[in-house]
Amino acid sequence: MTNTDCKHNLREDAFMPAVDAVSAIARFLSLVRRRKQVVITSVVISGLLGMTYYLLATRKYASTAELLIIQQKQDQLATVGDHESSEDTMATHQKLIASPIVLQNAIKRLPPKHRIDLVGEPTHKWVEKLSENLSARVTRKTNFINVSFRSKSPDAAAAVVRAIIHSYLQFVQEKDRGTAVDALHSLLQKGAELEAKLTEKQNELQSFSQAVGHLAVSQDDSAVEPTIQRALRLNDALMDEQQRRLELQATLLSVEGALDRGENIHQYLVAMEESVGRQMMLSSLGLSSEDLNVIEEQQKQILASQAELSSLSKFYGPNHPRILDLQNRIANSQQYVRDYRANLGNPSNGMAESHLGPVVKRMLEQSVQQAWQKEQQMSASFEEARQEAAKHSGDLVQLRMLEREVTRLEAQYDLLFEKISTVNMRQMQAPIQATVVREPVPDRVPVSPQIRFLVFFCLASGTAVGAVIVYVQDVLDDRFSSPEELTAQLGVPVLAMVRNLTPLPGEGMETVHTHTLPHAVETEAFRTLRTAISLSGVACGRLLISSSEPGDGKTTISVNLSVAMAQAGKRTLVIDADLRKPGFTSLLQLRGRPGLADVLTSGLSPAESAPSMVVATEVPGLDVLPVGLRRPNPAELLSSHEFVELLAWADSQYDRVIVDCPPVLAVSDAQVVGQLVDGAILVVRPEKNHRRSVIRAFESFQSVGCNVLGVVANALSDESQSYGYGGYGYGYGYGSDYGSDYGNDEEAFEEEVSDADEPQESIPDPATKRSRTPRRKQGPTEPIRPRRAA
């Protein structure tokens, strides 16, 4: 399936509920139209009740006033919490107008002559009584409140509204004035307390600062308190001294190890320069300060000559005199330094190796001892400074806390002072101003009961109640009430409507109305059915007739329709396929004779076995294949290949083949046969069958792909005329006089129908979607060609 097909199916699925809803509404409106007498009666009763109420109801008069509520621009500092929005303010005052305290004060203002609505009521219910008739509405998106009151007297209504408004205005004014005074008194008291506390904290801060000896330094500067700074410096010096002592101890251990191993200690003298002194180290090496200066001067000359040689090499070749001169100068200087150092390194120039080691060791031990003593002194000084700095730090923390507390109290005091100033300036101005823009006046026209509203309510309630009654009747009845409803629910036409036939005396064909009473009014319905089938536009060589439930008269329809077709000159074969409860066979008294079951189980082809079992009736052109002996497996027999061949043989020998099947909801036999025929006719008894049963039977045929041509409404009584069935088939002028002239034109009518039955060109078969050519009768020796596979 392509995406386009999927989208199309989705659109169809989405559209189906809407179609079903429209169909249900249309059906309900049609039902209301048919039972309009119920709706009219309901409307009339509702109208009478409304009229009675209008005549007996007490007249009520209303008076209305209008208030304008203006909310002043309030100062944020003068309130506690967030401000109410405009909508909240209007809603609050709307409820305030109808509050008990306002109504109680209004009753006190109300003169006795205007308390007409409170007469007979106990005193404790007066407020409740006023509240029932009072209405306060806020006009949408405005600041107006409409106050209305209903009373038995127009003057009393206006007086009550006037008293309620005056009570409300007085309450608002007193409440706002009292709130401002209370707020100012509370703020002044808080201000005095806050000022006393601020003064106390400021004095405490000043005393503590003097006691601590705090040097006032700006908080933005990075300066450190001297006491703390001294402790930090002593800590740094102590760390340096500890590092120096550790280095001397490490050098001493190295020298002792070297002396024990007999190694030269000159390599340790450089590390001893700071501890034993520079001059001592040079003497031990046999050097003097002048020797070091000479070596340093020669090194500088060598470096300068090398730099000059490097720069000149970029411009001169290697044999240039200047290059050669610089190279010789560098070589001579380097040789001089080597020779000079060799002479300086002679042990005879310095202290003897045997005396140098002990001297160096003794000097290192003295240096370590001095470093340890100095470290102990500095550690004691640092500990004293640290304790003093710690105490001073705690004092500083407490000092900072006092400063922050003073700053916070000063900010609160400034804010409170601003609030006091604001309240003091605006304490006489109420935050809410209510103004009466429309005074209440007496209205002599009653507002209740209203004739227009009462008429509308009676019509609406009467119609609604009538519709509900019709719906309940329809649910309880659950029958098809008209041919239109049958067509709308099933989607197929009503081919014919047959009245309740009176049983005829006799046996066999004598009891068939179409045969015994061909010109009676009752038999005209079967001719109508025959014509509807012939003119349906579908090749109907094979017909199936069934019903939803037993007792619907499917056999009566089958036998009368077959006789009507035979009377029209069509060779017709009726196959009784109700192998469980054969009605057609019993009607024609053919029980016990071989028939359909024997053909399907004989082992011979139906073309060989069926002709001998077909029974010719006394109606020319009408043959019957009875049910035969009962078999235990009817569904399997009807779904066998032999039954397919039987239908093919019958189709080749007869113009019409009618298969009488059992009810479709009782067994599955009709569904099995429905796949092999050109169309099916569903027999319905509107006064007996439930709507859901008929719909389920119709859907059973559709589920197997059977084409349902239409429905036959059977066994209609004279009472069915009230349900829409009386005007179809027999209720429009047929009588005994019509039958005397019908015989003169019968042959012409049947010839016309016969011509209409015979297809003149290929007709598309809706079951196979292929064109079917006009059927020709095959000879007995021609092969049987079934038109559809099982």
In this structure, of 2-6, 109-113, 367-371, 576-580, the range with the lowest mean pLDDT score is 2-6
Q: What is the DSSP string of 74-118?
A: --GGGSSSPPPPHHHHHHHHHHHHTSHHHHHHHHHHS-GGG-GGG
Q: Tokens 């009229």 map to which residue?
A: 51
Task: Kindly tell me if the per-residue pLDDT of 722 is higher than 50.
Answer: no
Task: Kindly tell me if the per-residue pLDDT of 764 is higher than 80.
Answer: no
Backbone φ/ψ region at 78: left (φ over 0), alpha (ψ -120 to 50), beta: alpha
Taking residue 17's Cβ as centre, other Cβ atoms within 10 Å add up to 9
Q: What is the mean pLDDT of residues 677-693?
A: 91
Task: Kindly tell me if the per-residue pLDDT of 789 is higher than 60.
Answer: no
Which pLDDT value is given to residue 35? 79
Task: Kindly tell me if the per-residue pLDDT of 446 is higher than 50.
Answer: yes
Task: Kindly tell me if the per-residue pLDDT of 52 is higher than 80.
Answer: yes
The average confidence (pLDDT) of the chain is 78
**CA–CA separation, 337 vs 335, rounded Å?**
5
Which pLDDT value is given to residue 744? 36
Short-list 176, 739, 248, 230, CA closest to 513: 739
Task: Kindly tell me if the per-residue pLDDT of 301 is higher than 80.
Answer: yes
Which pLDDT value is given to residue 190? 82
Task: Kindly tell me if the per-residue pLDDT of 745 is higher than 70.
Answer: no
Higher pLDDT, 404 or 740: 404
Which pLDDT value is given to residue 410? 83
**Which residues is 209 bridged to in the sheet?**
none
Which pLDDT value is given to residue 1? 54
Which pLDDT value is given to residue 12? 54
**CA–CA separation, 259 vs 254, rounded Å?**
9
Higher pLDDT, 128 or 258: 128
Instruction: Categorize the per-residue pLDDT at 237 as very low, low, confident or very high, splitting at 50, 70 and 90.
Output: confident
Higher pLDDT, 226 or 409: 409
**CA–CA separation, 778 vs 655, rounded Å?**
12
CATH code, residues 481-718: 3.40.50.300
Q: What is the mean pLDDT of residues 765-787?
A: 36
Helix axes 641-653, 606-613, angle to 10 degrees: 60
Which pLDDT value is given to residue 85? 61
Task: Kindly tell me if the per-residue pLDDT of 421 is higher than 90.
Answer: no
- Regarding pTM above 0.85, the answer is no
**CA–CA separation, 497 vs 728, rounded Å?**
7
Q: What is the mean pLDDT of residues 68-79?
A: 60
From first CA to last CA, the distance across the chain in angstroms is: 27
Helix axes 126-133, 100-109, angle to 10 degrees: 100
Taking residue 351's Cβ as centre, other Cβ atoms within 10 Å add up to 16
Instruction: Categorize the per-residue pLDDT at 396 as very low, low, confident or very high, splitting at 50, 70 and 90.
Output: confident
Instruction: Categorize the per-residue pLDDT at 82 as very low, low, confident or very high, splitting at 50, 70 and 90.
Output: very low
Task: Kindly tell me if the per-residue pLDDT of 763 is higher than 70.
Answer: no
Which pLDDT value is given to residue 790? 29
Task: Kindly tell me if the per-residue pLDDT of 766 is higher than 50.
Answer: no
3-state secondary structure of 778: coil
Six-digit token pair at 407?
């700053």
Short-list 489, 460, 591, 371, CA closest to 42: 460
pLDDT digits (tens, 9 = 90+) for 14-51: 555 676 678 678 778 877 887 788 899 999 999 999 99
**CA–CA separation, 305 vs 326, rounded Å?**
6
The single-letter DSSP state of residue 503 is: P
Task: Kindly tell me if the per-residue pLDDT of 677 is higher than 60.
Answer: yes
In contact, 713 and 525? CB cutoff 8 Å? no
Which pLDDT value is given to residue 337? 76
Q: Where are the domains of the chain?
A: 1-33, 35-57+449-477, 61-187+426-438, 226-402, 481-718
Which pLDDT value is given to residue 11? 57
Task: Kindly tell me if the per-residue pLDDT of 788 is higher than 60.
Answer: no
Instruction: Categorize the per-residue pLDDT at 749 as very low, low, confident or very high, splitting at 50, 70 and 90.
Output: very low
Instruction: Categorize the per-residue pLDDT at 730 as very low, low, confident or very high, splitting at 50, 70 and 90.
Output: very low
Which pLDDT value is given to residue 214? 54
Higher pLDDT, 347 or 253: 253
Q: What is the homologous superfamily of the domain 61-187+426-438 according to CATH? A: EIF_2_alpha (3.30.70.1130)
Instruction: Categorize the per-residue pLDDT at 607 as very low, low, confident or very high, splitting at 50, 70 and 90.
Output: very high
Higher pLDDT, 508 or 772: 508
In contact, 678 and 542? CB cutoff 8 Å? yes
Instruction: Categorize the per-residue pLDDT at 9 as very low, low, confident or very high, splitting at 50, 70 and 90.
Output: low
